[in-house]
Structure 1
């Protein structure tokens, strides 16, 4: 995304909206037992159940705020913590680590994911195990259960290796604080994903990625999309410096695939694996026998909610949330 004056105005407006919402709720409920929770966006669909489970706050006492992004959330954190009148407000802020390029000042009220983003919590062996048992009706002792898990581990490892150059390309732009539109990278243009095989459709060298992204920018210009000419100009100005950083970043991604592969790319992988398993089951392929009543919805834009019960809950998140049991007990004793 290009950082324009218009973008900055919209950012401030969005922050003001959430600030006003928080201020009004504080005025109405500051003497009651509530926890104020601030999220980057739809990640509340993952966190809210866990906040209720691991803290002393029931669902009706959890007040949530959609901050429309990490930058805006941290702006609100800074604004709230700067005012002493809010020192006794029970509050929690939940942010993605992203690529770890920006060092944010933060305190014990801020939880940061240990991986790139929340979506990474959904793509792991443990999540798939729970999903296979509950959604596909497999038992852990079934040969099909072991087959799927073994194939998933192998395909996931290969996927991360093949997708690493795209991540290094993106990181190299972001290191230089140059705008790059991550949504332009369509994983299906590069890789075909199935539970029993991964097919590379497009080469992932620096030159091929440069050509791919440049074609997307030129297409925007031809369609006269907003900021397209500015985005193309900035790309041409920075691309040589991006190349200088690319190979070192690629080595770093290869060494830290679990933490540096973009969360949305990972979630795309999981979605395609589940979709393929459903198709194979319907066609009588892959499984030893056809399974009935597999109705899991992975096409929905609400996938974070649909799969939340299966996603990983990290030890660091549990430890962060359990601190709020102590806060609650202290409030009760006053």
Structure 2
């Protein structure tokens, strides 16, 4: 698709979503804008603060569209005072200008998927779904599995960092016009990047051969600078790394533990006794599957608390 066609599609989408916004307002409901499937994460959190407030989510199909719609609304003489909320991911973008917008929430990490990628979330799932906690009869297994999780996460972060640095720098190179091809990040299979097992992670990609990862770079020659991104190299907990890969790592790790917990001896390795774990983590719907366990940062709580008392129109 040409750049002209992309702009036409964006304009068409913008028009469709603005009409959706007008219908919501006409029915005295509060519009809340999301850039994709992120509503699956935000819904229960918005509901916690918006008790008694009838709100409707609008999937704007991308961060750029969310911000374009906000600009269109704020410039509209009739709708500029409508109190809407806009949720976007930080990504690898410079979001400094967005800090001035009180109605825009930007994740403090790369994306909402990172809210699922923490030790706290893992411990909650281990207790609620696996029946294993620090203080019950499976406390020894708890310590063993938690140590394995920490070790596996550490190995995963180190294995996936070069990929993230490459993506960050290639995006900047593309903006500069260094190559014409697309990165097609949605086409990259997780298993082509890393192999995840309980206790170990193996890097299977070659960051010095970007064409093996991104097959549409049209002969772009790798530059050693493409592996440098200090803010990523210093990231020890993975919160600045791409959320989709982080969440898929988490899903696969949980699934492997689930299989072990459900197994009979001698196949069972990590748990001393068998127990049925019923949690199902689907790749396409994991944002909903375990939304109740995901982190809710203080900045999000503050943002929602501020808007919960606002009327539909100022």
Q: TM-score range by the shorter chain?
A: 0.7 to 0.9
Q: Indicate yes or no: 2:301 matched with 1:318.
A: yes
Structure 1 match to 2:55? 62
Structure 1 match to 2:34? 39
* Alignment coverage as a number of residue pairs: 299
Structure 2 match to 1:255? 234
Residues 182 and 101 of structure 1: is their aligned pair in 2 closer, same or farther, counting only changes over 3 Å? farther
Question: How far off is 1:180 after superposition?
Answer: 1.2
Bigger drift between 134-143 and 114-123 goes to 134-143
Structure 1 match to 2:286? 303
Match of 2:67 among 53, 62, 74: 74
Matched-pair contact (CA < 8 Å) for 2:25–2:31 = no
Match of 2:249 among 264, 269, 279: 269
Structure 2 match to 1:207? 208
Structure 2 match to 1:286? 270
Runs of 4+ that moved beyond 3 A: 55-58, 101-106
Matched-pair contact (CA < 8 Å) for 2:195–2:202 = yes
Structure 2 match to 1:160? 157
Match of 2:86 among 93, 115, 132: 93
Question: How far off is 1:267 after superposition?
Answer: 0.5
Question: How far off is 1:130 after superposition?
Answer: 1.1
For the residues of structure 2 that align with 1:166 and 1:3, how far apart are their CA atoms?
Answer: 27
Residues 297 and 169 of structure 1: is their aligned pair in 2 closer, same or farther, counting only changes over 3 Å? same
- Give the secondary structure class of the aligned counterpart of 2:239: helix
Question: How far off is 1:103 after superposition?
Answer: 5.3
Report which structure shows greater RCO (CA 8 Å, sep ≥6): 1
Q: Which runs of no fewer than 5 residues in structure 1 stay unpaired?
A: 218-230
- Give the secondary structure class of the aligned counterpart of 1:295: coil
- Give the secondary structure class of the aligned counterpart of 1:264: helix
Residues 325 and 282 of structure 1: is their aligned pair in 2 closer, same or farther, counting only changes over 3 Å? closer
Residues 169 and 108 of structure 1: is their aligned pair in 2 closer, same or farther, counting only changes over 3 Å? same
Q: Which runs of no fewer than 5 residues in structure 2 stay unpaired?
A: none
Matched-pair contact (CA < 8 Å) for 1:167–1:260 = no
Question: How far off is 1:4 after superposition?
Answer: 2.4
TM-score normalised to the size of structure 1? Answer: 0.82
What are the within-5 Å matches in structure 2 for residues 168-207 of structure 1?
Answer: 168-176=165-173, 177=175, 179-200=182-203, 202-204=204-206, 206-207=207-208
For the residues of structure 2 that align with 1:49 and 1:65, how far apart are their CA atoms?
Answer: 16
Q: What are the Cα deviations for residues 146-200 of structure 1, in whole angstroms up to 9, with x where unaligned?
A: 2222211221111011101111111111112263111243231232212222233
TM-score normalised to the size of structure 2? Answer: 0.87
Structure 2 match to 1:222? none
Question: How far off is 1:17 after superposition?
Answer: 1.0
RMSD after superposition: 2.3
- Give the secondary structure class of the aligned counterpart of 2:223: helix
- Give the secondary structure class of the aligned counterpart of 1:97: coil
Residues 192 and 56 of structure 1: is their aligned pair in 2 closer, same or farther, counting only changes over 3 Å? same
Matched-pair contact (CA < 8 Å) for 1:18–1:67 = yes
For the residues of structure 2 that align with 1:169 and 1:212, how far apart are their CA atoms?
Answer: 12
For the residues of structure 2 that align with 1:77 and 1:70, how far apart are their CA atoms?
Answer: 11
For the residues of structure 1 that align with 2:233 and 2:123, how far apart are their CA atoms?
Answer: 26
Matched-pair contact (CA < 8 Å) for 2:114–2:243 = yes
Question: How far off is 1:101 after superposition?
Answer: 4.0
